[in-house]
Structure 1
């Protein structure tokens, strides 16, 4: 099939919204979004990020499991040239401490809890006692019902912001060689290592994978593995989006 012309993930979703206006882009439990609906919500998240002062090249941490918000934040960041940094949702408190210090994120989106892990409590224990280790971190946005002093909740963070209507200026939008996201290795023998992946290469890789699999528009790709792994974000997500397929989380 014809390869997409887009060179960043935000443009890719917008391109497919025009090409496949009736196709579902993502199914995540009860949440569903067509390509146009996803593009609209991504623009809203991009507007909220810009209003929060996030600028090109700044990093956004994501301690989030496979859900619609993960996609919205990741693609929305690309609209303004920001860099998503997904964290493992298996991380314990000391690992979160390392990731926050090493990644130098300015904003963190985090679940309030995942499984038996209480991330709101972990973050409350780390901040402010160890805040000097994360000098770049200014804002925490929680997804869930728990409260964390000084944080914001995701719904109110996004609410009230109109979708980003104008096209980002050339100096702001992500280019093919800009970083799409920074993924951390598993850290099985040492601390995890940060690995940057570029927009253009990630899109081309995803398209090649989809072609090899014979993926067609409208078909569904089930992803039981985490999006914070390269198999999830760089492979399955990008193979789906480059082919107008549906990513099932």
Structure 2
């Protein structure tokens, strides 16, 4: 049964059912609010948006780390019907300009700075007219729809509303006006547009409806048995589906307390899990690796941890085992999906066998269809044979904003979303993701899936993290290069690593090249940018 409620309605629902349960906590700022208070706060902010003149369906961009204002804005727009456009925290001038133009955003909500980068300065470079504009009356040649900017602070900038100036707009808006706005919303309407990372070409705006995100959050939470007794630590960024669907919406649909980390830091996460007695923790593999390898890891009491989700990129089996054993999250699950599918397609269950939970991404969610097809012929592949994973159901996006061509090349005429991921499904419907179609390496006619080689190398006692990519080779077409991060204090040579592989994996899967590094190129949501690693690898080989 699908949840028919809108993003705004689920807050009202939680406030009725769990009025005194803590809705969210910002331990760094000593802020704690119950679901009743959260409902009132988001009502007031929704009224402020209406009072400011923001209409239902208008596009409101938000650019910040996981601040309280971000959280409130997500559910306030969900109550009055503005479409929230999430902006990557790593964006610079050209990327912000592209997003504001392409999305037709009328409004931008932003924090002042992020990791030493002034967002105000970047915005002024994109829209010089702010310097001479009255607040709310920006007129820009480059951004014809753009009218207003709101900063998440009380510092006064020319042409920009402070947060309290925004809130003051709520005064003239009645409860009746807000209730009418909330009741006018349909769950088939777009409420969120998220821009894909743009690893190929320009980022595309994924249009997600209330139905998409509310049901996905509901199911994700169901799978890890969230309730009003749980406390979920959310260190993943809100601008990504992991944060604002699998984190916030999953929590609100279950009356769960959100313990929010503004910016990921392994030590902070461990401290919050201990101090707030978190029962659940989300993260991408690189986050869990950083937590497990924190120098003070063994000093933290993580005994409250029960569950959580590891997702966002392929999850190494060894890391999964350590999270279950060393962190005590015995019921942790793996989820797989992409922004275009709201995001989760498949998820392991807390009572799946250990083998299934560490070596697969589980089975399709209820009501979700999945098939594996031959990428060349389009025919379904038999169990055990790799192919492209496709999905169909409530979770498929409405499309890419103002990009019909890309939409039609991603969603076929029968409603199947083509993910571009290579997967294998077993007889029981459990799925193993073996990589992206474009990540597959073909060496001398042999198909090699980098994930398989990475899983093997993770077992080496000196290796903390490893990524494998293909590089051009005149004889075999492609060869493998492994990028290795060693554990602190460990030493390893490329010859020793190759020797370790001999007799254990096929000769053609042993990396020809090995590079040792301290970091990988990453997206702001913690995903490793393999396309950049491939470029770096090509340069190394050519040298």
- Is the TM value for this pair above 0.5? yes
Q: Which of 12, 17, 24 in structure 2 is aligned with 1:26?
A: 24
Q: Which of 202, 207, 212 in structure 1 is aligned with 2:218?
A: 207
How many Å separate the matches in 2 of 1:211 and 1:8? 18
Instruction: Tell me the equivalent position of 1:180.
Output: 191
How many Å separate the matches in 2 of 1:159 and 1:48? 7
Of structures 1 and 2, the one with the larger relative CO (CA 8 A, separation 6+) is: 1
Q: Which of 152, 162, 187 in structure 2 is aligned with 1:143?
A: 152
Matched, 1:197 2:195: no
The verdict on how the C-alpha distance between 1:6 and 1:41 changes in structure 2, with shifts beyond 3 A counting, is farther
Map 1:1-249 to 2 at 5 A.
7-28=5-26, 29-30=28-29, 31-128=31-128, 131-144=140-153, 146-159=155-168, 161-162=170-171, 165-166=175-176, 167-169=178-180, 173-249=184-260
Q: Is the 8 A contact 1:176 1:200 kept in 2?
A: yes
TM-score by length of 1: 0.92
C-alpha deviation, 1:74, in angstroms:
1.4
Unmatched segments (≥5 aa) in structure 1:
none
C-alpha deviation, 1:115, in angstroms:
1.2
Q: How many residues align?
A: 247
Could you tell which deviates more after superposition, 122-131 or 48-57? 122-131
Q: Equivalent residue of 2:114, what SS?
A: coil
Deviations 1:217-245 (A, max 9, x none): 13111111111111111211111111100
How many Å separate the matches in 1 of 2:255 and 2:2? 10
TM-score by length of 2: 0.43
How many Å separate the matches in 2 of 1:4 and 1:219? 23
Q: Equivalent residue of 1:39, what SS?
A: helix
| 4+ runs deviating over 3 angstroms | 3-6, 170-173
Q: Is the 8 A contact 2:49 2:169 kept in 1?
A: no
How many Å separate the matches in 1 of 2:181 and 2:50? 15
Q: Equivalent residue of 2:246, what SS?
A: helix
How many Å separate the matches in 2 of 1:6 and 1:22? 25
Could you tell which deviates more after superposition, 85-94 or 23-32? 23-32
How many Å separate the matches in 2 of 1:98 and 1:170? 30
More helix by share: 1
Instruction: Tell me the equivalent position of 2:370.
Output: none
How many Å separate the matches in 2 of 1:164 and 1:175? 21
How many Å separate the matches in 1 of 2:147 and 2:97? 15
- When Rg is computed on C-alpha atoms for both structures, the one with the higher figure is 2
Q: Is the 8 A contact 1:59 1:106 kept in 2?
A: yes
Unmatched segments (≥5 aa) in structure 2:
130-138, 261-543
How many Å separate the matches in 1 of 2:58 and 2:108? 12
How many Å separate the matches in 2 of 1:113 and 1:230? 22
How many Å separate the matches in 2 of 1:26 and 1:192? 31
More strand by share: 2
C-alpha deviation, 1:114, in angstroms:
1.1
Could you tell which deviates more after superposition, 203-212 or 3-12? 3-12
C-alpha deviation, 1:14, in angstroms:
0.9
Q: Is the 8 A contact 1:6 1:12 kept in 2?
A: no
How many Å separate the matches in 1 of 2:2 and 2:25? 22
C-alpha deviation, 1:127, in angstroms:
1.7
